[in-house]
Structure 1
Amino acid sequence: MSTVLIKALEKRSSRSEYSSYKKIVEQINVIDFSKLSEGNLLNKSTELKNKLLQGHSMDDILIEAFALVKEAVKRVLALTAYDEQIAAAIAMHKGKLIEMQTGEGKTLTAVFTAYLNGLTGDGCQILTFNDYLAKRDAGWMGPIYKMLGLTVGYVQDTMNIEDKRQAYLCDITYVTAKVAGFDYLRDNLCYDKNKLIERPFNFAIVDEADSIIVDEARIPLVIAAGGVDNDNTLYITMEAIKKLKPKVHYDKDEYEKNAFLTEAGLNAVENMLGIENLYAEENYKLLNEVHNCLYAMAMLKKDVDYIVKDNIIEMVDEFTGRVAENRHWPDGIQAALETKEKVGINSKGRIMSQITLQSFICLYKKLAGMTATAMDSAEEIREFYNLETMAIPSHTPCIREDYGDVIFTHKEAKYKALVAEIIKIHATGQPLLIGTCSVKESEYLAEELKKADINCNVLNAKNDELEANIIEQAGTLGAVTVSTNMAGRGADIKLGGPKEIDRDKIVTLGGLYVIGTNRHESLRIDKQLRGRAGRQGDPGMSRFFISLEDDLIKQYGIDRVLPQIIRPKNQDEPLPSQRIAKKVSQVQRIVQGQNSDLRRVLWQYSSIVENQRFQVYKRRCEILLDTNPFNILEEKNPKIYEELFELLGAEALKDLEKQVALYNIDDSWADFLAATATLQEGINLKVIGGKQPLQEYKIETAKMYEQLQQYIQDRIIQDFETMELSMEGVSELKARIKPPSSTWTYLVKDNTILDALSLIFFGSAGTSAAYLLGAPIVAAILVVESFVQKIKHKEKN
């Protein structure tokens, strides 16, 4: 069956399902609770909760529950929910990811679904895009839940443990996916069950779902402990790399996703570092440093990929264009970057635990989501999360005009025409929203507009509350707003601003005019930008100004595949040919598919360790919560057990055994993560002696994990066998096996792994590249063998 036919059948099925939801909406609208007092509304809500306790399903009470919410919304917010919002809420209750256009009221829609699922008492979490939105939405929608007898809370990254625990215990909790994930990791380092923050994961509604579960799905959340590793040669290595010349000593692969040494570069590096063979076994650490330093120098651009603020490297999110809080590149590259900018190495630390956002979100028993752009990634979302995507019709048809791209030969001509267009439109008073691709570009454009005496608001920093307030004003008469990206900005753009001043005049001018200065790799990002205009039937327009020198076009060689006849020399006028625009759209689709394929391969790699992590954490949780008896000491060394029993008593000995076990599980798991991380660097190799990299990775991690369980057990027994059997000995042991005194969290941008995979599956970087990129697998295997030998040595003794 063809893909086209499958999609046609799915579309027909989706329409049929939506029609069934509309019939339920009609039944909801028939119910009139307007004459009930607030007390009787609460009583009705309690009645529905009791029905669930008596064995009724949520579907049995859905119609009455949604009718209650609809009435509460009227009383609290003085709003009447649209039929489309209620239908979308039904779809989410059924476990769908719904696509609703910007301005259609997703925040309110979620309340219906959250209330119904919150009645069970098992908790419903609404995973927002940032802390500001979690706090805002909980405060905004909270009175609705409270009127109906449900508790509501929100979690902020900076909250103390007790405040977080109370928020998680609420029926409805607003929290970012990242904070919830970090709290999960902290709980898995906890030694006292009374200090656990979160409860079992029940139901989650993911807001801005495509950004969280597609764009950021592969980002590992990391919790680390320990201090700075001062034993490094990074400074010397970086100074050597800085002396290399592009095209002479190093080059980039055809997709410009990775850098590699040429033969001349390899010789130069070896001479500068005073070594004979960079690939010798004793130099594997140095080899990784060279690779990391080269990547930091050649691939990461200041004010595009990162900024330096207060002597700290801050990553710029490639999708939002804002500073990504608590985000790192993998530690080796992060440290190389810190060395490059001479800010001091602050990133070193021992990773105690980690989980990808994708794996974390899959922990919930039930999942739903909402976003403005999901259909383009529907297949990937279905595959990874078992979530079906459904498009919800707009309450009022969209009348926005999306104009064709204006394409120029070079950037200078593009910016000249762009500024001229902004000056012309601004003179009429029509509000303008300009979306750029980088912090550097947004600041350049703002400077050019300043020269033309046009003041504009620039959004490219991490201040969500301030940004939301600025976005709210982006639709006012004469407003000019420059933003690096509109995903997750968290505010609706009404014509005339929140109070809709001068709305009629702005309507006659054509509404909000959205301009994109570049095409993104993802079509969804472009759609998110366009979607800011034309909300709820408002007029609006959008257009992209692009050039043949833009990153997307240069990186993927669109300019090289254009026929000579339509590739003129530099000119100020736009290019008339639509063939170029078609090529751009074609490449976007190819790149989006390529990135999806790469995420799929990465999932195959990470799922191996994720399955192992799940087993380790499950056993750890059993020990912590006393749900599975733990008596290894009594089984393996009954003599020591009896002596400690006499010394401490049953309860104290049980607590000591638990602490020893938890410490050794955590410590051994940290060793395991370090070894697998080094092994994962080995996927940079295209061919390992003719073997498949994924298969090699499976074999090596399986070998390590097979030894891990016995290794943990041996370490637990060794701690008891080497301790002094006295109260003083017990105190010394407890002092040594304490949990980390301090930890910190961050996210790892693992695109370096993604970049390496692109070489394996989509391109070739040449012999030198294969030689350099393949070398880390040698180091990885050495680490694996070291890990296994360590265990074997332990077994002998």
Structure 2
Amino acid sequence: MVSLFKRSDKTNARQLKKYQRTVERINSLESVYEAKTDSELQNASAEFRGLLADGKKLEDLIPDAFAAVREASRRVLGMRHFDVQLIGGLVLAEGNIAEMPTGEGKTLVSSLPAYVRALTGEGVHVITVNDYLAQRDYRQIGQIHEFLGLTVGLNLPQMDTGAKKEAYAADITYGVGTEFGFDYLRDNMAGTNADKVQRPYHYAIIDEVDSVLIDEAKTPLIVAGKMAGNSDLHTVASLLARRFEKGRDYEFDSETKATSLTDTGIGKVEQAFDVGNLYELEHQTLYHYVIQAVRAHVMFERDVDYIVKDGKVLLIDMFTGRPMEGRTLSEGLHQAIEAKEKLEITEENKAQAQITIQNYFRMYPLLSGMTGTAKTQEREFREVYGMDVIQVPTNKPVIRQDLSDRFFDTADQKYRAVAKETAERHRSGQPVLVGTTSIIQSEAVARYLREEDLSFQLLNAKSVEQEVELISQAGQPGNITVATNMAGRGTDIMLGEGVAALGGLHVIGTEKHESRRIDNQLRGRSGRQGDPGSSQFIISLEDDMFRRFAEEDTEKFKKKNFPDAEGEYRGKAVQELSDRTQRIVEGAHFSMREYNLKLDDVINEQRKIVYDLRSRALNGDENGHLLKTMLEDAVSFILDEALPPDGLIEPEQLQTAEAALQELFGGSFRLPQDLDRRKQADARTAQPIAEAGQMIDAQIGHPRVNAVTTNVLRTFIDQMWVKHLEMMSHLKEGIGLRMYQQEDPMRIYQREGLELFTMNFQNLRMKSVTELLSFMRLRESEQKEAN
């Protein structure tokens, strides 16, 4: 491991030397661009684009382009890029991650590569973590690009199609990553090409890249719609789950919320529904309904997690304790709770389109990002996204003091220590920021601070704008701010008058996180741009991290080590326990993200096939070719499934093939009863295929026929894809069952996922071809009668 870090450090140093040489070249051009008039500087973009059109490489333009942006920024915003910001821009322009601490001006850094990559006219997306930051950067940094003659767009939720199209058509488009992803999904659900808003992907810059590509990557992007479920099956599954016993019929982990059936429980399901083997692919839907019924009983408690009001299940917000009107659980879980409470069962939220964050952003040919904390996740960035992390030097040396962690036996002792430490620093006038992992924890801290008669700002703002305002004031003299660690991210905390002499902002962390990276984000709130500051974590062995991931290790530690009278542990052993546990947590979460990505990679290949087919159908230019190909493939599939490739054909096999082919060619189609070889079957279908092809060619040129063909293909593709996503979800849920059979779940998912896709795609071909050939035959018949 040490050698890996050494190699990484050497690579970083080598890269920085290369960037430094380019920075020297940019600096040598500074006087040239300072001497230009505004109009001359504004003509630079046209000149650069002319050079690109003449064959000059984009990389060769970087020194001049960066010099132009630096000068434009100085004139428009009064902000001149530091040399380290130029280095950050070079890192991004190459498609890597620039690690730059808080306060180093990452927002201004993005103006450089965004401009360079936008010169090609293919579009640049600048991704932020929320709408507030997207609008702020669009209004501020966008001025630089508009001064230089580029167009700038802003992509926000709830915008109409026309406004979104205009935003995407701009040279540089600002917005939140999830909205770009949802637009991609919606484009692939659009009724016509005119309803699509995006253009082909080119280059993206992601601000707070670790937040977007790692923290948010746990949850896929899903566009859902209301659809009818099987209310009877929900009811029966609920009655069965009500009789199940924990430990005997099912296992439930209260920490991870993992729920699974035991062999005994599986046996009861098989007996109740009279199925031979619940492991079979055809029973995945049944398993899904049963496991959701069990979850409804063991994971959700009435008047704690939900209430029943006016015959409806209303979920409770765990942070505020208030009912969440209009919010429902997906994948049939909400309906399972309704069945548990013997209420009327409503329609289910079912996925109509979905994609993981990882697979969405991997569609960009070039991706880059910036953050204050990425090095600890470098392996994941490289393996998943193909980006290296380059640590950019700070403009001024970091002088923040990161004090040793303090460990207490109980949460109560920890919070008392936090309050005491806060009070001591507050007495001197030093501002304190207390970081927590949740609003619930923030309120716990608040109770202990009140006991010390301390005034503080509890950051539970109703909007991001308020959050930014409150967090920015955390460095003022005597201020005490309690906030969740992600609150107001991307906001600089400026020190008030006289605070530097008091030691700067002191940050207290009240719990270690699932990643050292998030701990470092909290520390990085203090000590910006060479400011003094300090940080310290005050935690307890009752914290979530120890309870969930190191229960046995913690018990062993407590038997050998004892706290002092205040409940505090001293020495290296407790620090080693903490570090080891955090590494275990990091590894577990990385493995989970890696596993989920592998699962989605299976669907991703299928999604590409379906979306490509849908796009071609919407274009309508090749509908005849598409339809003929689907017909040929459908016939081949029928014969492959029903008849042996070699050897004699049995009468039953012949009947199965004939019945399926009659769907395509009409009820009059027959296979000779003496047909006994597969090659003969191929020959027998050749003429009907050719005749159908001639009819398609004759009909498809008519505008009405082409429009009907597009509409039918789109409708059946959408229906197939929604059904397939549901089946894949049920399959993913059920592969855990196979652990008992000692099979590799991933291989099962890949194999059976392919089987499902092959089956569903054949159903799509059969439905589409049958419907359209029938329509064309009817139209052909009407034309003959008319003549």
Q: Structure 1 length normalisation: TM-score?
A: 0.80
Structure 2 match to 1:359: 359
Alignment of 1:710-725 (within 5 A): 710-723=762-775
Alpha-carbon distance between aligned partners in 2 of 1:341 and 1:417, rounded to the nearest angstrom: 45
Counterpart of 1:685 (choices 737, 749, 767) is 737
Counterpart CA distance in 1 for 2:397 and 2:182 is 41
Change (3 A) 1:579 1:325: farther
**Residue type matched to 2:163 in 1?**
D
User: Root-mean-square deviation (CA), in Å?
Assistant: 3.9
Sort the Cα spacing of 1:304 and 1:210 in 2 relative to 1 into closer, same or farther, 3 A: farther
User: Residues 63-462 of structure 1: matches in 2 within 5 Å?
Assistant: 63-227=63-227, 229=229, 231=231, 252-253=252-253, 256=256, 258-259=258-259, 288-289=288-289, 291-292=291-292, 294-295=294-295, 313=315, 331-333=331-333, 348-460=348-460
- 1:547 pairs, out of 511, 520, 540, with 540
Q: Deviations over 1:332-382 (max 9, x none)?
A: 445557889999987823322111110000111111111111111111111
Distance 1:108 1:284, change over 3 A: closer
Find the aligned partners of 1:559 and 1:485 in 2 and give their Cα distance: 25
8 Å contact from structure 1 (residues 154, 167) kept in 2: yes
Alignment partners' CA distance in 2, 1:44 and 1:613? 42
1:250-269 Cα offsets, whole Å, 9 max, x none, are 765597552457899x69x9
Deviates more, 1:715-724 or 1:227-236: 227-236
Pick one of 584, 590, 610 that aligns with 1:616. 610
Q: Distance in 1 between matches of 2:727 and 2:101?
A: 45
1:770 matched residue in structure 2:
none
Q: Counterpart of 1:49 in 2: which secondary structure?
A: helix
Question: Quick check: 2:315–2:327 contact (8 Å CA) kept in 1?
Answer: no
Specify whether residues 667 and 170 from structure 1 end up closer, same or farther in structure 2 by C-alpha distance, changes over 3 A only: same
Deviation at 1:217, TM superposition (A): 2.3
Q: Does residue 522 of structure 1 match 2:522?
A: no
**Does residue 7 of structure 2 align to residue 27 of structure 1?**
no
Select the structure of larger CA radius of gyration: 2
- Write the distance in 2 (CA, Å) between the matches of 1:212 and 1:121: 26
Change (3 A) 1:14 1:608: same
Task: Provide the rounded CA distance (Å) in 1 between the counterparts of 2:122 and 2:325.
Answer: 31
Cα distance 1:276–1:643, how it changes in 2: closer, same or farther (>3 A)? closer
With over 3 angstroms needed to count, the CA separation of the structure-2 counterparts of 1:140 and 1:336, relative to structure 1, is farther
> What is the CA-CA distance between 1:186 and the residue it aligns to?
0.7
Report whether the alignment pairs 1:598 with 2:596. no
- Give how far 1:288 is off: 3.8
Contact 2:314 2:327 in 1 (8 A): no
Report the more deviating stretch, 46-55 or 102-111: 46-55
- 2:13 corresponds to which of 12, 15, 33: 15
Q: Which amino acid aligns with 1:683?
A: I
Asked if the contact 1:515/1:544 (under 8 Å) is kept, the reply is yes
Farther-moved stretch of structure 1 (469-478 vs 443-452): 443-452
Change (3 A) 1:620 1:250: closer
Partner secondary structure for residue 97 of structure 2: strand
Structure 2 distance, partners of 1:473, 1:280, is: 63
Equivalent residue runs for 1:41-60 within 5 Å: 41-60=41-60
Counterpart contact for 1:413–1:571, Cα < 8 Å: no
C-alpha displacement at 1:172, in angstroms?
0.4
State the percentage of identical aligned residues.
Answer: 34
Cα offset for 1:526? 0.8
The one-letter code of the counterpart of 1:694 is M
Choose which of 708, 714, 725 in structure 2 pairs with 1:662. 714
Deviates more, 1:447-456 or 1:371-380: 447-456
1:205-226 per-residue CA deviation (whole Å, 9 max, x = no partner) reads 1111112212222421111223
Residues 557-576 of structure 1 mapped to structure 2, 5 A cutoff: 557=551, 558-562=553-557, 564-567=559-562, 572-576=566-570
Distance in 1 between the 2:464 and 2:324 partners?
12
What is the CA–CA distance in structure 2 between the aligned matches of 1:391 and 1:305, rounded to whole Å?
44
In structure 2, relative to structure 1, the CA distance for the partners of 1:419 and 1:69 (3 Å cut) is same
Query: Relative to structure 1, is the Cα distance of residues 328 and 126 closer, same or farther in structure 2, using a 3 angstrom cutoff?
Result: farther
Q: CA deviation at 1:240?
A: 8.8
Give the 3-state SS of the residue equivalent to 1:60 in structure 2: helix
CA 1:312–1:544 in structure 2 vs 1: closer, same or farther (change >3 Å)?
farther
Alignment match, 2:756 = 704
Query: Contact 1:399–1:534 (CA<8 Å) still a contact in 2?
Result: yes
**Whole-Å separation in 2 of the counterparts to 1:535 and 1:390:** 19
For 1:552, give the aligned amino acid. M
Q: How does 1:493-504 map to 2 (within 5 A)?
A: 493-496=493-496, 502=497
- CA deviation profile, 1:282-309 (whole Å, cap 9, x unmatched): 9976754553355466567999999999
**Deviations along 1:217-251, whole A, 9 cap, x unmatched?**
24211112234647267689779979999889976
Task: Write the letter of the residue equivalent to 2:23.
Answer: V
Matched ranges for 1:623-634 at <5 A: 623-626=617-620, 628=622, 630-633=624-627
Out of 449-458 and 172-181, give the one that drifted further. 449-458
Instruction: Report the AA paired with residue 3 of structure 2.
Output: L
CA distance in structure 2 between the aligned counterparts of 1:223 and 1:574, rounded to whole angstroms:
49
Structure 1 residues 285 and 610 mapped into 2: Cα distance closer, same or farther (>3 Å)?
Answer: closer
Tell me if structure 1 keeps the 8 A contact 2:284–2:734: no
Q: In the alignment, what sits opposite 1:534? A: 527
1:166-192 deviation line (CA, Å, top 9, x unaligned):
101100001111101110011101131
Counterpart in the other structure of 2:572: 578
1:566 and 1:577 in contact (8 A); partners too: no
Distance 1:672 1:207 in 2: 35
Structure 1 counterpart of 2:746, from 688, 691, 694: 694
Whether the 8 Å CA contact 1:660–1:716 is kept in 2: the answer is yes
Displacement, 1:706? 2.5
Instruction: Note if 1:511 corresponds to 2:563.
Output: no
Looking at structure 2, the residues matched to 462 and 415 of structure 1 have their Cα atoms a distance apart, in angstroms, of 26
Residue identity in the other structure for 2:424: K
> C-alpha separation between the residues in 1 aligned to 2:574 and 2:692?
78
Q: How has the CA–CA distance of structure 1 residues 458 and 377 changed in structure 2, closer, same or farther, with 3 Å as cutoff? A: same
Distance 1:78 1:533 in 2: 25
Tell me the residue number matched to 1:743.
Answer: none
* Displacement after TM superposition at 1:149 (Å): 0.4
Unaligned runs of 5+ in 2: 632-688, 783-787
- C-alpha separation between the residues in 2 aligned to 1:421 and 1:602? 42
**Alpha-carbon distance, 1:473 to partner:** 1.4
Q: Which residue of 2 aligns with 1:768?
A: none
Q: Which segment drifts farther, 252-261 or 55-64?
A: 252-261
Q: Residue 544 of structure 1 aligns to a residue in which SS?
A: strand
CA contact (8 A) 2:474 2:481 kept: yes
Quote the offset at 1:653 in angstroms.
1.7
Match of 2:466 in 1: 466
Letter of the aligned partner of 1:191 in structure 2? Answer: G
- Contact 1:511–1:541 (Cα < 8 Å) also in 2: yes
Are 1:672 and 2:763 counterparts?
no
Equivalent pairs counted in the alignment come to 712
SS in 2 for 1:656: helix
Matches within 5 A, 1:698-777: 698-723=750-775
The alignment's TM-score, normalised by the length of structure 2, stands at 0.81
Q: Judging changes above 3 Å, is the alpha-carbon distance between structure 1 residues 291 and 509 closer, same or farther for their aligned structure 2 residues? A: farther
**Structure 1 equivalent of residue 662 of structure 2:** none
